[in-house]
């Protein structure tokens, strides 16, 4: 805990972000840090709650409650309050391989389950977390720690997103020789191409950690796509174990009239193209660019928000975001009690930027697209929207029903489909001959991670479905433990 009376003495404070009008002019991170005095005060707010729900990491009512990697939150909050930053870093790294990632892009289910949050604003857990790791790098406390002894066992990890990196880091830590395959031209997976630079700086943050992992002995091979230019048989022959961490990258499509028109793209293709252009030093030459365009974003999750923020930085003419779900309430509803994830309205960074420029939140709720309209050249020029209501069908399921007379035509030059993902892509799984479950995910039990193929394991979104970065890290650490047990007969990995 922090100071016994800290939660009474200090109010919740967050660092002031760069203003929306300023930050849309560049691709730099928009969060500032707080000074040490105020950070220690925020750590002091961590109360002696008895049972720290913040670190439980459970699924309640279909959403994550608490920290899936079971971060020792009260411990490092107390250490920050007492000014023991290096000790706080040790406790943070005990459960989290990459706090500089989670501290920036995790939605912080820990704060949603903070006991203090029952009747007052929660502890600023996420902000304290990123302050600890950033200070650790600044002070030189975070250094490469290659294993002193090698086992001689070789493991290949397919995919270099958060699950793959966590698995590789843990397996390398106990002395196995780890090779990570990445189908893109740069390692990092979702961390590199799925999250925009203003949320997670690629060179300053992602590449810094990747270099550390390389210094510790992990080998990265890019442009290596199992099922295309990498033969699965060779992997199974050359390595003692194979770990699939390819993510759930199959996007959900919208099959309505006009879907084939030019200018209608999947959100991840758009975000990837934008980040590649930025890292190549040519951000204005991205093949899917929003400059001067009327942009429509379909979907209200984090990916949709990232599309909004990216389009704003590219100089879109207008922006509308459609959300098929109803607008969340301003406060927790009676059927959404603590410690569940609070399903409440919030103005995220992208929508805040749109409101600053165009005067209002761009989201239209309970609205979907009925068809895309195009010109004679096959380019999208508008969308036809319709309002919907959620009603029960004959089997008791809630399904969307159109509201008569609610159709509208909205100008559109660029449409981005950010409606989630349906599961992993099939090529790699077929090549490795692993069985899938009813949802098309890799068939591998939680806490076991073994697939139907001998010596082949799976973790992350490809196993559990689309989820949070902290769940990916949880699974990467878990699969490393089971791979180590498989290779050595026992394991000391957590």
CATH code: domain of residue 69: 1.10.1060.10
Written as one string, the DSSP assignment of 13-24 is --PPPPPHHHHT
User: Which helix (H) or strand (E) element contains residue 89?
Assistant: helix 85-95
104 in any annotated domain: yes
69 in any annotated domain: yes
**103-118 pLDDT per residue, tens:** 999 999 999 999 999 9
Q: What is the pLDDT confidence band of residue 494, given thresholds at 50, 70 and 90? A: very high
Measure CA of the first residue to CA of the last residue in the chain; give whole Å. 24
What's the mean pLDDT when you consider all of the chain? 96
Last residue of a domain, one of 368, 396, 419: 419
Residues 12 and 129 both lie in one domain? yes
Residues 231 and 267 both lie in one domain? no
What is the value of pTM for the model shown? Answer: 0.95
Give residue 279's pLDDT.
97
- As a whole number, mean pLDDT of residues 204-215 equals 98
Q: What is the pLDDT confidence band of residue 2, given thresholds at 50, 70 and 90? A: confident
- Strands 398-402 and 380-392, how do they pair? antiparallel
Q: What is the pLDDT confidence band of residue 479, given thresholds at 50, 70 and 90? A: very high
Last residue of a domain, one of 394, 419, 444: 419
Phi-psi region of 352 (alpha: psi -120 to 50; beta: other; left: phi over 0): alpha
- Strands 414-417 and 421-423, how do they pair? unpaired
**372-419 pLDDT per residue, tens:** 999 999 999 999 999 999 999 988 899 999 999 999 999 999 999 999
Q: What is the pLDDT confidence band of residue 471, given thresholds at 50, 70 and 90? A: very high
Strand order in the sheet with 318-323: 264-266, 414-417, 294-298, 318-323, 363-365
Residues 261 and 242 both lie in one domain? no
Residues 265 and 412 both lie in one domain? yes
What share of the chain in percent tops pLDDT 90?
A: 96
Give residue 75's pLDDT.
96
| pLDDT at position 3 over 90 | no
| pLDDT at position 435 over 80 | yes
132 in any annotated domain: yes
**CA 208/CA 167 separation, integer angstroms:** 18
Residues 327 and 452 both lie in one domain? no
114 burial via Cβ count (<10 Å: 0-12, 13-18, 19+): buried
Q: What is the pLDDT confidence band of residue 174, given thresholds at 50, 70 and 90? A: very high
What share of the chain in percent tops pLDDT 70?
A: 100
Give residue 48's pLDDT.
85
Give residue 178's pLDDT.
98
**CA 134/CA 110 separation, integer angstroms:** 20
- As a whole number, mean pLDDT of residues 201-224 equals 98
Q: How many domains does the chain have?
A: 3
300 in any annotated domain: yes
Report residue 411 CA to chain centroid gap.
31
332 burial via Cβ count (<10 Å: 0-12, 13-18, 19+): middle
Q: The domain containing residue 240 runs over which residues?
A: 154-249+422-488
**347-381 pLDDT per residue, tens:** 999 999 999 999 999 999 999 999 999 999 999 99
């Amino acid at each position: 805990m922090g100071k016994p009376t800290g939660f009474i003495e200090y109010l919740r404070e967050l660092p002031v972000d760069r203003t929306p009008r300023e930050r849309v002019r560049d691709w730099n991170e928009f969060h500032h840090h707080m000074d040490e005095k105020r950070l220690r005060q925020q750590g002091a707010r961590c109360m002696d709650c008895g049972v720290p729900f913040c670190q439980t990491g459970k699924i309640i009512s279909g959403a994550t409650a608490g920290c899936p990697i079971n971060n020792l939150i009260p411990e490092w909050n107390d250490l920050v309050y007492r000014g023991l930053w290096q000790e706080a870093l040790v406790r943070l790294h005990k459960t989290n391989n990459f706090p500089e990632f989670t501290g920036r892009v995790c939605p912080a289910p820990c704060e949603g389950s903070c006991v203090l949050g029952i009747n007052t604003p929660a502890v600023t857990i996420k902000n304290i977390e990123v302050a600890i790791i950033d200070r650790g790098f600044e002070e030189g406390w975070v250094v490469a720690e290659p294993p002193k002894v090698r086992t001689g066992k070789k493991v290949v990890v397919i995919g270099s997103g958060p699950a793959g990196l966590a698995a590789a880091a843990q397996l390398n830590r106990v002395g196995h020789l780890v090779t990570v395959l990445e189908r893109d031209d740069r390692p990092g997976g979702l961390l590199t191409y799925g999250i925009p630079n203003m949320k997670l700086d690629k060179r300053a943050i992602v590449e810094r950690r990747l270099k550390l992992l390389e210094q510790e002995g992990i080998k990265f091979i890019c442009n290596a796509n199992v099922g295309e230019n990498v033969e699965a048989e060779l992997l199974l022959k050359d390595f003692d174990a194979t770990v699939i961490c390819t993510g759930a990258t199959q996007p959900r499509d919208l099959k309505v009239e006009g879907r084939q028109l030019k200018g209608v793209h999947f959100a991840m293709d758009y975000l990837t193209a934008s980040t590649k252009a930025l890292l190549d030093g040519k951000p204005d030459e991205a093949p899917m660019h929003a400059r001067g365009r009327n942009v429509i974003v379909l979907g209200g999750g984090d990916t949709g928000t990232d599309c909004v923020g990216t389009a704003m930085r590219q100089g879109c003419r207008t922006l509308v975001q459609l959300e098929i779900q109803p607008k969340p309430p301003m406060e927790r509803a009676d059927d959404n009690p603590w410690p569940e994830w609070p399903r409440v309205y919030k103005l995220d960074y992208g929508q805040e930027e749109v409101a600053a420029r165009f005067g209002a939140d761009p989201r239209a709720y309970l609205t979907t697209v009925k068809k895309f309209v195009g010109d004679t050249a096959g380019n999208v020029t508008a969308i036809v929207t319709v309002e919907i209501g959620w009603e029960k069908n004959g089997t008791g399921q809630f399904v969307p029903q159109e509201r008569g007379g609610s159709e509208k035509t909205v100008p559109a030059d660029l449409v981005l489909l950010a409606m989630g993902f349906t599961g992993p892509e099939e090529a790699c799984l077929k090549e490795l001959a692993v069985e899938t479950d009813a949802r098309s995910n890799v068939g591998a039990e939680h806490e076991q991670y073994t697939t139907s193929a001998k010596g082949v394991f799976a973790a992350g979104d490809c196993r559990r479905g689309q989820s949070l970065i902290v769940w990916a890290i949880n699974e990467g650490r878990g699969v490393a433990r089971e791979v180590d047990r498989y290779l050595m007969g026992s394991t000391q990995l957590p």
